Amino acid sequence: MKPDLFESPDYYNLDDLLSEEHKLVRDAARSWVKRAVSPIIEDYAQRAEFPNEIIAGLAEIGAFGPYIPEEYGGAGLDQISYGLIMQEIERGDSGVRSTASVQSSLVMYPIFAYGTEEQRKRFLPDLASGKKMGCFGLTEPDHGSNPGGMVTRFADKGDHYLLNGAKLWISNSPFADLAVVWAKNEEGRIHGLIVERGMEGFSTPETHNKWSLRASATGELIFDNVKVPKENLLPGKNGLGAPLGCLDSARYGIAWGAIGAAMDCYDTALRYAKERSQFGKPIASFQLQQKKLAEMITEITKAQLLAFRLGQLKNEGRATTAQISMAKRNNVDMALKIAREARQVLGGMGITGEYSIMRHMMNLESVITYEGTHDIHLLITGADITGISAFK
């Protein structure tokens, strides 16, 4: 792969709106990605393997639990810092950002928000340091966009719960030490349970043959009469709103992360267009190529402003689920379109692993589908503005 020459576009001087802490956190993540992710990521993606060697570095830049309080091992940062970290990591690779998002917002967040003090102390510091890795089991083979239909169930057996069922498409599952699993009790109410590797009847087969998020491990969670200790139930919140609350936090991070992938594609295409000559002139001098590049920077700038304002609302505790849906949907769609256009600017070179664009493009096909599909987020906006749900 070519050396990482990334220069971040900031067309509307967004840096002026960031605090010194935001910039420090962002720059630390940026230089770590250049140093530790860019040189190795293409090779891992080609081999369809998760780079275990970057776990310690992710923990060091605060990517595991950026907004979880320091007393539990988190970085104690605000939501804009969290977003900036996700942006920088996804600039490197969406699969690496997925690992960080799952660990932070889908594993640490529910333990922090819905767990007991004992559960927080027992699990959060090891998750923050990367000593333990987690995954989040909501999606099932027959229930994706409609997680409320889930059939994974647990029964109260007096001194323990007995868990049965299966989850599909679970990021980090093949290597996770623990899983936050959403299952129905005997009354049909959804609860979160912490299932730990080594519990009898619990297995995590890997899903192979993905053309997308190849540097992220994806798999199943299978529960065959797993005895889960009663102290592993998350007591703080139940019902579908509990997992959806985690998704709000992860989707917010994705809204920022997708900007990173788009910035990388734009930056690569701009540099290439200025260096590559055809018909005796740089291809950047042709109007058709300028149109592509000008539209890319316009869309990136709009997405940056959307994410920044959402971050302010999130810091104030005012960001709604529907506002988060809008930003996730818009920014991922924007990034995918930019990846496709940027790929064309590079001509034939764009399809090779010499450049990051094709990898970003393939990754974004998952990002536009997971954490609520592009269609479902549109319907969430539709329901919010009309008061009528068109999808359930």
Ligand X SMILES: Cc1cc2nc3c(=O)[nH]c(=O)nc-3n(C[C@H](O)[C@H](O)[C@H](O)COP(=O)(O)OP(=O)(O)OC[C@H]3O[C@@H](n4cnc5c(N)ncnc54)[C@H](O)[C@@H]3O)c2cc1C
Residues near ligand X (CB under 6 A) = 102, 135-139, 144-145, 169-171, 213, 218, 366, 369-371, 373, 375-376, 379, 391
One-character DSSP codes across 123-146: HHHHHHTTSS-EEEE--BTTBSS-
d(CA 168, CA 219): 6
Between the two ends of the chain, the Cα-to-Cα distance in Å is: 46
**Upper half-sphere CA count for residue 109 (Cβ side, 13 Å):** 25
- Residue of 90, 140, 220, 371 marked active site: 371
CA 338 to chain centre: 19
Least separation in angstroms between CB 245 and ligand X: 14
User: Cβ closer to ligand X: 349 or 379?
Assistant: 379
Tell me whether residue 213 or residue 254 sits nearer to ligand X (CB atom): 213
Q: Tell me, rounded to whole angstroms, the distance of Cα 78 from its chain centroid.
A: 17
Task: State which residue has the least CB distance to ligand X.
Answer: 144
Closest separation in Å from C-beta 371 to ligand X: 6
148 vs 282, which CB is nearer to ligand X?
A: 148
Residue nearer to ligand X on the CB measure, 343 or 377? 377
Q: How far is the CB of 225 from ligand X (least distance, A)?
A: 22
Return d(Cα 348, Cα 120) in angstroms, integer. 51
* Least distance in angstroms from the C-beta of 99 to ligand X: 10
Within a 13 Å sphere around the CA of 331, how many CA atoms are in the beta-carbon half?
32
Taking the complex as a whole, the smallest distance from the CB of residue 239 to ligand X amounts, in Å, to 17
Instruction: Using the minimum distance from each CB to ligand X, give the nearer residue, 151 or 294.
Output: 151
How many whole angstroms separate alpha carbon 360 and alpha carbon 213? 9
Q: Are 312 and 271 in contact (CB under 8 A)?
A: no
Q: How many CB atoms lie within 10 A of CB 18?
A: 17
State yes or no: is 20 an active-site residue.
no
- Residues with a known catalytic role: 371
